[in-house]
């Protein structure tokens, strides 16, 4: 683990001469969520995984978090590491950040993989998501965590993988309550700036979600893909929001197959 000048905790793995891939985690999580992905990918790519500001081992942001500030965090990290271009793999909030980054710094992005990431919601659903965000502001990360885990994992996995679920639970509980609430509102409200992206996203893109992901639905992912010229779209059956932790091999295969011809 290393710490960048802007306080970002990161790991850089693999040959620096290989094409670079950046792995961006989701709300309340940390770079350790990619631990099954890095060993498979590092033989062909240089892998950068990092903790968003206010998450994991990174410092808190000096300002209230936004998609712009998270995109700037990544730009500063890439500049410090002298990574001029990379593919961005973003999960959930990370899939919003990589879209924002591609809009702000298109010359730095070779391709995008957007995983289980939200998009425009119906008005009643937007109100419900923002209400959940407000509840977490009042009660901290623990306020809605049990219901969150039921949305993230399938029931059979929850019932049979106590250690893995507890690991995710502990990641969320480690978050500073104020920062977590701010980031949750970014996840809730930030989608509005990504709809019909301006400037348009033109990099080769793959959009993935799971069949039973209620927060990042197949409909949302289809709409994201429809707004990016030539984007590919894939639904993983059976799984929910954190399907990439339940069955990582499915997602690793999708990433490898896409990047083989789009990096």
pLDDT category at 24 given cuts 50, 70, 90 is very high
Note whether residue 143 is domain-resident: no
CATH code of residue 251: 3.40.50.1820
Note whether residue 53 is domain-resident: yes
How many domains does the chain contain in total?
1
CB-based burial label for 120 (10 Å; 0-12, 13-18, 19+) = middle
Note whether residue 64 is domain-resident: yes
Note whether residue 114 is domain-resident: yes
Structural domain for 113, as ranges: 2-120+194-259
pLDDT category at 136 given cuts 50, 70, 90 is low
- Sorted by sequence, the CB contacts under 8 Å of residue 187 that are 6+ apart come out as 27, 92, 93, 96, 118, 129, 133
Name which of 174, 11, 27, 31 is nearest 77 in CA terms. Answer: 11
Q: Calculate mean pLDDT across residues 54-61.
A: 94
Note whether residue 136 is domain-resident: no
Note whether residue 88 is domain-resident: yes
Q: Look up the pTM and report it.
A: 0.95
Note whether residue 59 is domain-resident: yes
For 209-235, what is each residue's pLDDT tens digit? 999 999 999 999 999 999 999 999 999
Q: Calculate mean pLDDT across residues 42-60.
A: 96
pLDDT score of 139 more than 80: no
Q: Quick one: pLDDT at residue 222?
A: 97
pLDDT category at 125 given cuts 50, 70, 90 is confident
Could you give the CA distance from residue 100 to residue 115 in angstroms, rounded to a whole number? 14
Note whether residue 175 is domain-resident: no
Q: Quick one: pLDDT at residue 248?
A: 98
Q: 9 and 3 in contact (C-beta within 8 Å)?
A: yes
């Amino acid at each position: 683990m290393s710490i960048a000048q802007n306080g970002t905790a990161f790991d850089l793995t693999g040959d620096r001469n290989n094409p670079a891939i950046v792995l961006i985690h989701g709300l309340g999580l940390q770079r350790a969520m990619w631990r099954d992905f890095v060993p498979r990918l590092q033989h062909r790519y240089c892998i950068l995984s990092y903790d968003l500001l206010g998450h994991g081992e990174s410092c808190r942001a000096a300002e209230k978090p936004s998609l712009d500030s998270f995109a700037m965090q990544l730009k500063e990290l890439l500049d410090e590491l002298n990574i001029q271009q990379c593919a961005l793999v973003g999960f959930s909030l990370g899939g919003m950040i990589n879209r924002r980054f591609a809009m702000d710094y298109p010359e730095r992005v070779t391709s995008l993989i957007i995983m289980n990431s939200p998009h425009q919601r119906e008005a009643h659903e937007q109100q419900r998501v923002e209400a959940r965000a407000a509840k977490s502001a009042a009660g901290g990360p623990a306020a809605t965590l049990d219901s969150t885990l039921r949305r993230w994992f399938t029931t059979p996995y929850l019932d049979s993988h106590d250690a893995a679920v507890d690991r995710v639970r502990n990641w969320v509980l480690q978050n500073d309550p104020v920062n977590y609430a701010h980031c949750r509102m970014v996840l809730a409200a930030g989608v509005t700036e990504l709809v019909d992206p301006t400037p348009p996203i033109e990099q080769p893109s793959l959009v993935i979600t799971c069949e039973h992901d209620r927060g990042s639905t197949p409909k949302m992912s289809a709409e994201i893909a429809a707004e990016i010229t030539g984007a590919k779209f894939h639904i993983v059956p059976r799984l929910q929001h954190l399907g990439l932790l339940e069955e990582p091999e499915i997602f690793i295969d999708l990433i490898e197959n896409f990047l083989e011809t789009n990096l």
